[in-house]
Chains A and B, each alone.
Chain A
Amino acid sequence: MTKMISIEDFAFSRRKLLQGAGALVVSAAAPAVAAKKARAATAAFGSAVKPALKPDQLDSFIAITADGKVTAFFGKMDMGQGVDVAISQIVAEELDVKYERVTSILGDTQTSVNQGGASGSTAVQNGGKAMRAIAAEARRVLVEEAAKRLGASVGDLVVDDGVVSVKGNAAKKISYADILQGRYFNHKLKWNKRYGNGLYSEGKAKPKKPSEYKVVGQSFPRTDIPGKVYGTSPMITDVRVPGMVHGRVIHPEKAGGMPKAFDASSIKHIKGARVVHEKGFIGVVANTEWDAVRASQELKVTWSDGGNPFGDQKNLYDHIRKAKVIAKKHDTKEGDVAAALKGAAKVIEAEYEWPFQSHASMGPACAIVDANPKNAVVWTGSQKPHYTAEGVAAILKIKADDVRGIWVPGPGSYGRNDAGDAAAQAALLSKAVGKPVRVQGMRHEGTAWDPKSPASIHRCRGGLDANGNVVAFEFMSKGFDRQDVRSNESKPQDNLAGQQIGAKLRPAKTFRSPEDMYNVGARLIGWEVIPPFIPRYSPLRTSHLRDPLGPQIQFASEQFHDEMAEVAGMDPAAYRLKYLKDPRDRDLVKAAVEKSGWKERVGPRKDQGGKTTVSGRGISYAYRNGTRVVVIAEVEVDKTTGRVWPRKFTVAHDCGLIINPEALKLCLEGNIVMAASRSLYEEVMFDADRVTSVDWATYPILETPDAPEVIDCVLLNRPDKPATGAGEAATRPVSGAIANAVYDATGRRLRRGPVTAERVKALVS
């Protein structure tokens, strides 16, 4: 039956949570009794009192209860790739306990510190690194205490599943649980004073050597799957709070319009429905969800005319070309590109284009807020509940510490989607009606009104000497901002509700460049950013979508390297082996080439004349924050329809130390399929005054008939290298691999993404 989450939960402390989980840490005895017990236990290890939830306390991250169970409190979220499993593995490994003893609890601002939420594929890379050091420190202090109790030196002790014993004398032993007796460690850590992705805390302990790993490197299954498959795990959309009512927010049909007037009588036939209006924000609240949906559809609102802010979509790339530049940067400046191009025997140029894309999460975002005059609780599916809580506090004008954020898994998240907007909307509605309000968007809010991945153009120039060596590479992107709204929704200007009540967009004035991994002579690599179409509340505001700017940049850079390879008379894989600087990268190229059976060839296939369905292969490489990926795509192109079927992908992946190989493989498959969908089908469509991609019919994504036949993954484990992210890196090279494969098959190069059937048909006919 329905799981009710009580509002009284707001008052609960972490102590109570632990009790509730059947893992008693401290007796909830009356104060006098507790004081007596505390006196009696003065000689005991640790403390009966829980230290404040700060990153400089071991207890903020790890608890060991009297029954020997271990809980890890983690300030990053899992979007369905098994982050909690990986963290439990890392903690179990360092503590020397069985994996099954450990549970990781994610994403409640009252039980975990802000480690940045799901962000930049850093759960294992940053969060896991901290948890490794912290768990190692927990082991160290427990083993030191065990040494005292057993009258032995630390060097003579071994730990097996949480039991410390003397080497060669197994009878002399004590367990972690017996040492702690349900108390807190009360042990200080050295904290780097940073919150978010950069948070790092450690003690004096040195983590294990990878060669000693027993738990890390094994493929433990996900913990959340049975509940999802049997329909028994509530998601964010299933949270029901006593007294909760339902809200919906109303957006103008035409972008840029603001509500001028509304007719409350238009919904008076819906019992209990009412309008909430504050400046540009207009929503409805009703007792049942269906009534809220109807009220939002039937309320008559008069909107101001927003004009035609977007212009004709046909002119999108011309608009970008001509638009004024508000920020510019060269990320790589190596040698004198102008001189090198001037002196080159051959110069080639190309320009590539990529559209706006939508998160289009599986369900429109949902949030529940219970706003009181001085405090609030927000239940959210956002990747970053700590920041969501801050955002709710800001919009309610109360202190951030007085808002509790509780993350509940939601309908998919791949960056800054609409979840951060739903939370602030629910907050405004709850404040207005004085009751907990649940908001879930309708489909158009998840597609038309979510933050977008920016549209861009990419200008490339390359120079080759008389021997075909690349001597110059220039790559300049120009596009909409990487973040009109920040990837965390902690400020009113970074969520829709805040913008609706007047906060202006504040573009971050950043973009991204392809990483400087090719040794291709003199290099100038950078970007230019243009202003948003509308400087406020807009369905074409931009923010992070899975591997922010990766697909568009690699669509350009990896095609252009192929274009240079052909001019140089080189096979595309051989080109990468020649010019990639790092041996780790060259190993990946070799692994992918070998696995896929790649045969060297210069230029496109020429043996398919007259055929209706032609096939081709394309290679692409990407580096992302320490992780490297090579993807080889093999496609079939139907020249009559233009349909491109990405029949096979070979993925060679190096993210350093692998924590859980099977989970990694499944994560890579998801990356590849989603990226293939974006490469082949996804383009946000708009008219001059509105976004017209509003649902799955107008924003199609990949479906099973077009899913690949095979995705072959080669996982290069590098236990001696730090574990880096895997949630996004494999997304990056897919667009380039597909485009290169289409070129190989057809001999025609498509420089505008996505590679739709319509465009391919026009290209080959």
Chain B
Amino acid sequence: MAAPKRIKLNVDGKPYSVTADPEMPLLYALRNDIGLDNPHFGCGLAQCGACTVHVDGAATRSCSFTVGQAEGKKVVTLAGLGTPEKPHPLQKAYVDEQVPQCGYCVNGWIMTAAELLKKNPKADDKQIREGLAGLKCRCGTHMSIIRAVKRAAKEMAS
């Protein structure tokens, strides 16, 4: 453990300053120091995706990325990706397709898919399935997840 230090963060476009062990996972800073609800602790091992945020645009498992590493970078969470008034196409598609059941895994899928579609707006079925491999959904909503990602891709292309 390193000595606590003041770390400046930029989260969802807002500046924050937290005093924390720089080795602490970013997830705990987001949830407990900043007070965000949406990134979730699923495994702490980067195996499930429930804690995923964007760090400088890259989908990143915040349970396995330290708060120290996040300093000076732009962190975007699900709540910062879009709002009901200004939704990201994936969020809109998720509502339209009625995707989540328990909803605990949502951050991983939407944040990962957002990066995927940004890099490859014309991703086909196989590329979507492979691009989302490694994410977990225990409720088994995979069918509607794939439908929603395709719907969002279509909307983004139009």
A→B interface (CB under 8 Å)? 1-3, 79-81, 221-222, 224-226, 228-235, 237-238, 240, 269, 288-290, 294, 360-364, 409-414, 440, 442-443, 662-663, 666, 669-677, 695-697, 701-705, 707-708, 711
What A residues does B156 contact at CB under 8 A?
Answer: none
A136 to chain B, nearest CB (A): 29
One of A230, A414, A672 near B87 (C-beta < 8 A): A230
Contact yes or no, A669 B79, CB < 8 A: no
Indicate if the CB atoms of A707 and B143 lie closer than 8 Å. yes
Q: Given the complex, which residues of B lie within 8 Å of A708, measured CB to CB?
A: 143
Chain A CB count within 10 A is highest, among B31, B82, B106, B142, for B142
Quick one: which of B42, B77, B133, B142 contacts A231, CB cutoff 8 A? Answer: B77
Specify which of B35, B43, B84, B104 is in contact with A230 (CB 8 Å cutoff).
Answer: B84
Collect the chain A residues with CB atoms within 8 Å of residue B143's CB: 669, 673, 707-708, 711
Query: Across the interface, which residues of A come within 8 angstroms of B134, CB to CB?
Result: 703
Q: From B63, which residue of chain A is reached at the shortest CB distance?
A: A443
Q: How far is A752 from B129 in the complex, measured between Cα atoms in Å?
A: 29
With A232-B79, A705-B129 known to touch, is A362 a contact of B136 (CB < 8 Å)? yes
B50, A363: Cβ atoms closer than 8 Å: yes
**Contact of B43 (CB < 8 Å), options: A79, A225, A443, A662:** A443
Cα separation A674 to B138 with both chains bound (whole Å) = 7
| In contact, A221 and B140 (Cβ under 8 angstroms) | no
Contact B102 A362 (CB under 8 A): yes
Tell me if B128 and A704 are in contact (CB < 8 A). Answer: yes
Q: Give me the 6 closest cross-chain CB pairs, A-B, nearest first.
A: A231-B38, A80-B101, A673-B140, A228-B103, A231-B79, A674-B140
- Binary CB contact string for chain B from 99 to 135 against chain A (1 if under 8 A, 0 otherwise): 1111111110010000000000000000011101111
Q: Which residues of B contact A364 (CB under 8 A)?
A: 41
Contact B91 A230 (CB under 8 A): yes
Instruction: Evaluate contact between A225 and B99: CB separation under 8 angstroms.
Output: yes
Q: Which residue of A lies closest to B35 (CB)?
A: A2
In the bound complex, what is the Cα–Cα distance between A411 and B100 (angstroms)? 11
* 8 A-B pairs with C-beta separation under 8 A: A229-B95, A235-B37, A288-B28, A412-B101, A702-B142, A704-B142, A707-B142, A708-B143
- A229–B106 touching, CB < 8 Å: yes
| Nearest A-chain residue to B83, judged by Cβ | A230
Assess whether B138 is in contact with A704, with CB atoms less than 8 Å apart: no
B residues near A711, Cβ cutoff 8 Å: 143
Question: What's the count of A-B pairs with C-beta under 8 Å?
Answer: 188
Known: A228-B106, A230-B87, A704-B142. A79 touches B98 (CB 8 A): no
| In-complex Cβ contact of A361 among B91, B138, B144 (8 A) | B138
Q: Which residues of B contact A443 (CB under 8 A)?
A: 42-45, 47
Tell whether, in the assembled complex, residue A669 and residue B77 are in contact, meaning their CB atoms are under 8 Å apart.
no
Q: How far is the CB of A298 from chain B (nearest CB, A)?
A: 9
Q: Are A225 and B100 in contact (CB under 8 A)?
A: yes
Residues on B with beta carbons closer than 8 Å to the beta carbon of A410: 102, 104
A352 to B135, CA, bound (A): 32
Candidates A224, A234, A362, A673; contact of B42 at CB < 8 Å: A362
- Candidates B1, B41, B140; contact of A671 at CB < 8 Å: B140
Starting from the known contacts A411-B42, A708-B143, 9 additional A-B residue pairs (CB-CB under 8 Å) come to: A80-B100, A231-B107, A238-B37, A362-B50, A363-B41, A669-B143, A673-B141, A702-B142, A704-B142
The interface residues of chain B lying within 8 Å CB-to-CB of A81 are: 101
Q: With the chains together, A747 CA to B35 CA distance in Å?
A: 57
A residues near B106, Cβ cutoff 8 Å: 228-229, 231
Residues of B within 8 A of A702 (CB): 140, 142
Least Cβ distance of A633 to chain B in Å? 15
Q: State in angstroms the CA–CA spacing of A455 and B146 once bound together.
A: 33
Q: Given the complex of chains A and B, what is the CA–CA distance between A432 and B124 in angstroms?
A: 56
Residue pair B82, A362 in contact (C-beta under 8 Å) = no
With a cutoff of 8 Å between Cβ atoms, the chain B residues found around residue A671 in the complex are: 140
Closest to A707 in B: B142
* A670 touches which of B21, B36, B139 (Cβ 8 Å): B139
Given contacts A666-B98, A673-B143, whether A362 and B104 have CB atoms under 8 Å apart is yes
Within 8 Å by CB of A696, from B41, B79, B133, B136, lies B136
What is the distance, in angstroms, from A709's C-beta to the closest C-beta of chain B?
A: 8
Q: How far is the CA of A676 from the CA of B84 in the complex (A)?
A: 34
Alpha-carbon separation in the docked complex, A231 to B82 (Å): 9
Residues of A within 8 A of B91 (CB): 229-230
| B28, B95, B101, B128 pick with most chain A CB within 10 angstroms | B101
Tell me the minimal C-beta distance from B13 to chain A in angstroms.
14
**Chain B residues whose C-beta falls within 8 Å of the C-beta of A701 in the assembled complex:** 136, 138
Residues of B within 8 A of A409 (CB): 102-103
A contact residues around B110 at 8 Å (CB): 229
Nearest B residue to A288 via CB reads B32
| Residues A704 and B100 in contact, CB atoms below 8 Å apart | no
Contact check, A695 vs B47: say whether CB atoms are below 8 A apart.
Answer: yes
Closest Cβ–Cβ distance, residue A733 to chain B (whole Å): 15
CB–CB A80/B139 < 8 A: yes
With A363-B104, A704-B145, A707-B146 as known contacts, state yes or no: A225 contacts B42, CB within 8 Å.
no
Residue of B whose beta carbon sits closest to that of A271: B4
Q: Are A289 and B140 in contact (CB under 8 A)?
A: no
* Complex Cα–Cα for A695 and B43 (A): 7
The reply to whether B48 and A705 contact each other, CB–CB distance below 8 Å, is: no
CA distance A442 to B28 in the complex (A): 14
How near does chain A come to B21, taking the closest CB pair, in angstroms?
Answer: 7
- CB-CB under 8 A from B42, the residues of chain A are 362-363, 411, 443
- Which chain B residue lies CB-closest to A80? B101
**Nearest B residue (CB) for A240:** B35
Contacts of A414 in B (CB 8 A): 138
Q: Specify which of B40, B78, B101 is in contact with A363 (CB 8 Å cutoff).
A: B40
B133→A703 contact, CB < 8 A: yes
Given contacts A81-B101, A673-B141, contact A237 B43 (CB under 8 A): no
Asked whether, in the complex, the Cβ of A703 is within 8 Å of the Cβ of B135, the reply is yes
What CA separation (Å) do A222 and B95 show in the bound complex? Answer: 9
Most buried by A among B36, B134, B136: B136
A228 to B82: give the CA distance in the assembly, Å. 12
Query: Would you give the shortest CB distance from A207 to chain B, in whole angstroms?
Result: 28
User: How many Å from the CB of A663 to the closest CB on chain B?
Assistant: 8
